[in-house]
Amino acid sequence: MRYSIKKVLSWFLCALARYRLGRSHTVVVAVAGIVGKSTAKRTVAKKLKKFGEVFVSKKNYNTEIGLPLTLLDLEPPYSQTVGEWGTILYRAFVRAFFSPPLPRLAVVEFGVAEKGDMLQLLKIVTPIVAVITNISVSDFNSQTTLEDLSIEFAVLAASVPKQGLVVLNGDNNYAKIVKSAAKARIITYGAKEGNEVHPVAPKVMSSASDTATLAATIISDFISQRGTP
Give the distance from CA 153 to its chain's centroid: 10
Classify residue 130 as left (phi > 0), alpha (psi -120 to 50) or beta: beta
The answer to which of 41-55, 84-98, 194-208 has the lowest mean pLDDT is: 194-208
N-term to C-term CA, the chain: 39
pLDDT for 122 beyond 70: yes
Determine contact, residues 74/20, Cβ cutoff 8 Å. Answer: no
Q: Kindly report, residue by residue over 73-112, the tens digit of the pLDDT.
A: 999 887 778 889 899 999 999 999 999 999 999 999 999 9
Per-residue pLDDT band for 129 (boundaries 50, 70, 90) equals very high
Calpha distance 122→108 (Å, rounded): 12
Show Cβ contacts of residue 79 under 8 Å, excluding neighbours closer than 6 positions.
none
pLDDT computed for residue 77 by the predictor: 84
Local confidence band at 211 (pLDDT 50, 70, 90 cut-offs)? confident
Spatial CA neighbour of 106 closest among 45, 160, 164: 45
Domain boundaries, the chain: 25-58+103-226
Q: At what angle do helices 3-24 and 82-98 cross, to 10 degrees?
A: 10
Percent of the chain with pLDDT over 70: 91
Q: How far apart are CA 64 and CA 138, in angstroms?
A: 21
pLDDT exceeds 70 at position 157? yes
Q: Of 226, 217, 208, give the one whose Cα is nearest residue 187.
A: 217
Strand 129-132 relative to strand 27-32: parallel, antiparallel, unpaired? parallel
Taking the C-alpha atoms of residue 205 and residue 199, their distance in angstroms, rounded to an integer, is: 8
Radius of gyration of the chain (CA): 17
Where is mean pLDDT largest: 4-13, 91-100, 133-142? 91-100
What class, spelled out in words, does domain 25-58+103-226 have in CATH? Answer: alpha beta
Average per-residue pLDDT in the chain? Answer: 88
